[in-house]
Copies of this chain bind each other. A is one copy, B any other.
Amino acid sequence: MSAAAAQAEGGTVTLINVFEVPECALQASINYWKLSRDFLQTQPGYVSTALHQSIAPDAKFMLVNIAVWESAEAFKAASAKMMQTAGIAPVDGLKFTPGLYTVIETD
């Protein structure tokens, strides 16, 4: 098991989700994020979230969500429940790559 995985065992994790946003779908993608946040923040283990927007208009990842959860299990349970029950309409062409992380180095 990697150091990061071991560290995550039961500890907080950081969700980093990078969004590849189709042309003209930025606001729709932000609205999609808001609906997901409104659901996820009610779920057990949720700690915080912040949606970041690129300051460059041509970035590969125009939006990046960075959220903190009390555990990997809490996040997985909440997002599975969202998929099954929240009924949030997807945005055509919006592609995201979520991952769970722990901090291994700082300054």
Please give the count of copies of this chain that the complex contains. 2
Please give, as numbers and ranges, the residues of chain B lying within 8 Å of A79 by CB-CB distance. none
Q: Does A34 contact B (CB under 8 A)?
A: yes
19 more CB-based (< 8 A) A-B contacts, given A2-B53, A51-B105, A60-B97: A5-B55, A5-B56, A7-B55, A8-B55, A16-B18, A16-B61, A41-B107, A50-B103, A52-B101, A52-B102, A52-B103, A53-B101, A53-B102, A53-B104, A54-B99, A55-B100, A56-B99, A59-B99, A64-B99
Q: A33 contacts B105, CB within 8 Å?
A: yes
Size of the chain A interface, CB-CB below 8 angstroms: 41
Q: Taking beta carbons and an 8 Å cutoff, which residues of A are in contact with B?
A: 2-5, 7-8, 13-14, 16, 18, 30, 33-34, 37, 41, 48-57, 59-61, 64, 66, 72, 97, 99-107
